[in-house]
Amino acid sequence: MDMLTEALERFFSERITHDLIRTVEAGSDSAPLWAEIEASGFLDMLLPEEKGGAGLALGEVFPAFLEAGANAVPLPFVQTVLARAWLQAQGMEPPAGRIAIAGPEASRQVDGSLVTRNVAFGTVADWVLAGFNGEWALLPADASELEFDQSHGSQFADFLWAAPPSGIPSGDIGKASIAPEVLAAAALVPLMAGASRRILEMTLSYVGERQQFGRPIAQFQAVQNQLSVMAERVWAMRMAARLAFHAQGGMPSMARVAMAKTRCGEAAVQVADIAHALHGAIGITEEYALQLYTRRLREWRRAGGGEAWWARKVGAAVLESQGSVLDFILDHTRAEPVD
């Protein structure tokens, strides 16, 4: 584990307790915790050194992003890190505060109003970065009509800006390296991979301790079969997420993100289902921590475009390529040259 990841893992494990996650989900003030994160300097990991950042490449911060998912951090930490780097690349000074990133469910209505739906961490965001018909905008959350998801503990939110504030940061998406919707999906895949790893760890611990017929249930063949399927899915998610962050620069590619979000979304359902099946009734109780991770895993699967949406993007990219499917895969998974 590198020094950056170790420092973040220590910070998250000390500060992001299960009780804190529950209180943030219930609507308590998370500003003091965010102030600690801002003061740490971690939010500028991807900014160049001349801009006050650490100048790290995308691949170097991936392990740290996994830890955010493994600790179910209830704030848009990964989103803000990526958004700040993205905004700086557009020549804009990133603002202070928590930045959520809208996925493909963002649109400009006929009357000029702006709508974003199913925004992950929308309930705790200060800003929303979104793309609307070829243009991007960074919109203040407090200037919108906010509608919360009614699911238990959800951090999803829909936003409506009936009259978008004047002077908001905006620009042409065509001039950016990637669209905000790609950035939204990219931010979610390491979170999903990290959460799935923690779910597997909890499940392995539980089946090793739970006794049935005088022995741990982990010794039963049926349980071992489910564990093997679960472990395979968890590591597939990690590999897919790692692929999305396989870049020397600060931004991922659309094709890699599309493949990663598709694979992680597909596997998330199986990981959550098997975990609950092996835990039995205790897994869905409020007091037990498993549901803190499986609920978030399912939520992140829906945010930033589901697997069907991104699978269509992958299919379209393959059809537009000049080679075979294998050529496409090799072209988008080989190592990039170091600058």
Instruction: Give 308-333 as a DSSP string.
Output: HHHHHHHHHHHHHSSS-HHHHHHHHH
Q: Judge if 59 and 144 occupy the same domain.
A: yes
Q: What is the pTM of this model?
A: 0.94
Does residue 304 contact residue 187 with C-beta atoms inside 8 Å?
yes
CA–CA gap between residue 60 and residue 25 (Å, rounded)? 30
267 inside domain = yes
For residue 205, how far is the Cα from the chain centroid?
25
Spell out a b/e string for 156-185, using b for 16 or more CB atoms within 10 Å of the CB, else e.
bbbbebeebeeeebeeebeebebbbbbbbb
Nearest to 77 by CA among 104, 47, 49, 44: 44
Both tokens assigned to 23: 């209180």
DSSP symbol at 44? G
Q: What is the pLDDT of residue 335?
A: 57
Domain co-membership, 249 together with 129: no
Count of domains forming the chain: 2
Statement to judge: residues 136 and 222 lie in one domain: no
* Residue 233 within a domain: yes
How many whole angstroms from its chain centre is CA 201? 20
Q: How far apart are CA 304 and CA 301, in angstroms?
A: 8
Query: Which sign, positive or negative, has the C-alpha torsion 121, 186, 168, 73?
Result: positive
Domain that holds residue 62: 3-175
Per-residue pLDDT at 116: 97
* Same domain membership, residue 306 and residue 259: yes
Instruction: From 134, 160, 175, give the residue that closes a domain.
Output: 175
Same domain, 199 and 327: yes
* CA–CA gap between residue 56 and residue 232 (Å, rounded): 30
What is the C-alpha to C-alpha distance for residues 263 and 310, in angstroms, rounded to an integer?
A: 9
| 118 belongs to a structural domain | yes
Tokens 């396989």 correspond to 246
| 154 shares a domain with 251 | no
**142 in the same domain as 63:** yes
One domain, residues 163 and 252: no
Question: Residues 23, 25, 31, CA angle at the centre, nearest 5°?
Answer: 70
- State CA 32 to chain mean position distance: 22
Contact 79, 101 (CB under 8 A): yes
163 and 78 share a domain? Answer: yes
Return the beta strands (E) in 120-162 as ranges.
127-132, 135-140, 145-148, 157-161
Indicate if 7 and 108 belong to the same structural domain: yes
Residue 339 lies in a domain: no
Residue numbers of the chain with a pLDDT score lower than 50: 337-339
CATH number at residue 274: 1.20.140.10
CA-to-CA distance for 229 and 247, rounded, in angstroms? 29
Q: How far apart are CA 36 and CA 16, in angstroms?
A: 12
The residues with which 146 forms a beta bridge, in sequence order, are: 159
Residue 338 resides in a domain: no
Give residue 336's pLDDT. Answer: 57
Would you state the structure tokens that stand for residue 223, as one six-digit string? 């349980």
List beta partners, residue 134. none
